[in-house]
Amino acid sequence: MTSGVACDHEQGWKIATFAILRAMSPRLLVIVKALAVLLVGAAVAATLAPAGRWDCGPAPVIAPSLVAGRVLILPGVGNTRFHLAGFVAAAEAELPRFDVEVRPWGVPFMTIHNLRAHERNVATAEAIAAEIADWRRAHPDAPFYLVGYSGGGGMATLVTAALPDGVSIDRLVLVAPAISPDYPLGREVMPHVREYTVNYASERDLQVGWGTRTFGTIDRKNTASAGAIGFAVPHERLLEYRWSEADLAVGHAGNHLAYLSARWQAAKLLPVLDPSVGPSALRASWARTCKES
């Protein structure tokens, strides 16, 4: 639930954003629009780029799961849904009996504000955790997968840590999470995860490398995040996926937007949503590589 005060606060940020855009000079506005087009273009290129000279062999056949459950996806600091539409469609095809939802947790397009609004983010994480606890009481045996992208990965970490004692999700999936690498995952998070946690990281990712060193992580530390360099302390149920040049063949060049590549998601991300895939099978799917044709 969102209080009237919170609604007024968010509406104020939206009004301020539009006021800033209106106050921009035409030349500056053109530059801003050009940058936006470049970002969207990069996302589309990452998603639709052809396989080129790489032969990845026959695509694995994914049978839709008959298991019923829920996937909750927390987006990046921009708090928009459209950039995750391809991932949502693929998840819904793979999990037709799951409820798949993208849940914004901040003010749309207010990226730096959302990243740095620590008190609000903690309160939001606690509210989402309480909602998950209610769902778990109603569905004690159904799988619940929490997925976080970028800033949403940091939020997903806070949400899991905020779950009440005795309440767990099944899998935590962190894609380039803006959370500090020394976050106490073993103590705060893993007791609330039944199966395993997956962290996808790339040292080429400027947003969660240089960006979080400059503006801070979700847990307010100025450092390269776990989405860039991984978590500092290993855990037996933490699976770390580190970007390598082998990912180029499936459309991932190591940057932040490349996680939106449909080919990369199919090869490396979507298997983690298969209820029948355990850690060994997931690692095996990650190990499959393409050959130059």
Per-residue pLDDT at 63: 81
Diameter of the chain measured on Cα atoms: 59
Per-residue pLDDT at 21: 45
pLDDT band (50, 70, 90) for residue 2? very low
pLDDT band (50, 70, 90) for residue 293? low
Per-residue pLDDT at 290: 84
Per-residue pLDDT at 55: 75
pLDDT at 34 over 50: no
User: From residue 225, how far is each of 63, 103, 128, 201, 221 by CA, in Å?
Assistant: 35, 22, 23, 9, 9
Per-residue pLDDT at 235: 97
Which tens digit of pLDDT belongs to each residue from 96-126?
A: 999 999 999 999 999 999 999 999 999 999 9
Among residues 264, 212, 268, the alpha carbon closest in space to that of 240 is found at 268
The residues facing 98 across adjacent strands are: 69
Per-residue pLDDT at 26: 58
pLDDT at 6 over 80: no
Per-residue pLDDT at 25: 56
Q: Give the least confident one: 4-8, 175-179, 189-193, 268-272.
A: 4-8
Per the prediction, the chain carries an average pLDDT of 87
pLDDT at 148 over 80: yes
φ/ψ bin of 192: left (φ > 0), alpha (ψ from -120 to 50), beta (otherwise): alpha
* Mean pLDDT calculated for residue range 10-38: 47
pLDDT at 188 over 60: yes
Which tens digit of pLDDT belongs to each residue from 41-99?
A: 444 444 444 445 677 777 666 789 899 999 999 999 999 999 999 999 999 999 999 99
The DSSP call for residue 64 is P
Most confident range (mean pLDDT) of 43-52, 248-257, 284-293 is 248-257
* Mean pLDDT calculated for residue range 287-291: 86
pLDDT band (50, 70, 90) for residue 32? very low
251 Cβ contact list (under 8 Å, min separation 6): 46, 47, 49, 51, 258, 261, 262, 263, 264
Per-residue pLDDT at 22: 53
pLDDT at 38 over 70: no
